[in-house]
Amino acid sequence: MSSKPKIIILGAGMSGIACALSLYKDFDVQIYEKSRGIGGRLCAKRLPQGLFHFGAQFCTAHTMAFQNFLRDSDAINFLGSSFDVNTGSIIETKDCFVARDGMHSLLKKYNEVLNIHYNHKAIDIDEKRKLISFDSGQKVSYDIIISSLPLPQTREIFQTEINHDATFSPCLAVGMSIDGNPYYEHNAYKNINKDAAWLGSSSFYNSKNKETWVLQFSPKTSLAMMNDSDSRIQVSAEISVRNIFNGNYEITYSGIFRWKYALCNRSNLKSKFTSITDDSFAIGDWNISPRVESAYISGVALGEYLTGTKL
């Protein structure tokens, strides 16, 4: 039985994995993830029609540490070109990074290193008894608990009030297959109209991918349409696509993904992670800014803090 302090991390997204990688050599680290796979908002779904990237479409790297992480995680540069419809200009993509099998695959290799329990959704944390309850009925004890969930979900399961300035916007993402002979010039389009913020092909991850596209609605439109029927959302998506693509083609739909907490605001608190109690913490991009790199920085910062204070 391990004599190392037991750290439970909730969520196997970028911040949770980055934090675990900073801790697992010195602590007994276990990650509990509510879904069946790694990645969090780095979400890609492999469906019969092909690969669909419903979450973060790419990431950028401003720090050497994150650049090294991406290199070690087999990231590649964005393939092809991107176009801003609103300004009528090409978007520079040389500093944009993706992964050939989807953004979630930046983290997949760490399955072999870390102790990750999938299909475990935390529903309550008893801070006095240091006990986590999961939707399965299982209860797990801890010495230190770290939530890498969005702030609203973290607040739902902790008893201690969490004071933070983070707010979130939703995102509706629509997966589509384009059959026939579409004509388009670029691999991705930004600011298509007031409703559609992004339209991207799977080919900017890997040129061998099937012809699949994902459209993401703007935060305002996503909020307005979040509870609409699939058919109404699909009609709105098709209108935006047909404003971009020419040619003779048909659009078939492969899924709609509803992100309730997709995009956080930039925090003014100047803290890379949040201390809830002496032994409970929260990490994630929302502590800093709405970027994948911010999630990585948040997780590493807490890992370095705990290594320095708890050993």
* pLDDT by 10s per residue, the chain, length 311: 468 999 999 999 999 999 999 999 999 999 999 999 999 999 888 888 888 989 999 999 999 999 999 999 999 999 999 999 999 999 999 999 999 999 999 999 999 999 999 999 999 999 999 999 999 999 999 999 999 999 999 999 999 999 999 999 999 999 999 989 999 999 999 999 999 999 999 999 988 888 899 999 999 999 999 999 999 999 999 999 999 999 999 999 888 999 999 999 999 999 999 999 999 999 999 999 999 999 999 999 999 999 998 76
Contact 293, 61 (CB under 8 A): yes
Q: Where in the chain is the domain with CATH 3.50.50.60?
A: 6-44+105-166+272-310
Q: What is the pLDDT of residues 174-195, one digit of tens each?
A: 999 998 999 999 999 999 999 9
The domain defined by 46-101+168-264 carries CATH number 3.20.20.370: no
Q: pTM (2 decimals)?
A: 0.95
The torsion region of residue 191 among left (phi > 0), alpha (psi -120 to 50) and beta comes to left
| DSSP code per residue over the chain | ---SPEEEEE--SHHHHHHHHHHTTTSEEEEE-SSSSS-TTS-EEEETTEEEE-S---EE--SHHHHHHHHHTT-EEPPS-EEETTTTEEEP-TTEEE-TT-TTHHHHGGGGTS-EE-S--EEEEETTTTEEEETTS-EEE-SEEEE-S-HHHHHHH-SS-------EEEEEEEEEEEEEEEE-S-SEEE--SSSEEEEEEGGGT-TTS-SEEEEEE-HHHHHHHTTS-HHHHHHHHHHHHHTT-EEEEEEEEEEEEEEEEEEEPPPSS--SSEEEETTEEE-SGGGT-SSHHHHHHHHHHHHHHHHHHH-
Q: What is the pLDDT of residues 118-175, one digit of tens each?
A: 999 999 999 999 999 999 999 999 999 999 999 999 999 999 999 999 999 999 999 9
Q: Where in the chain is the domain with CATH 3.90.660.10?
A: 46-101+168-264
For 6-44+105-166+272-310, which CATH superfamily applies?
FAD/NAD(P)-binding domain (3.50.50.60)
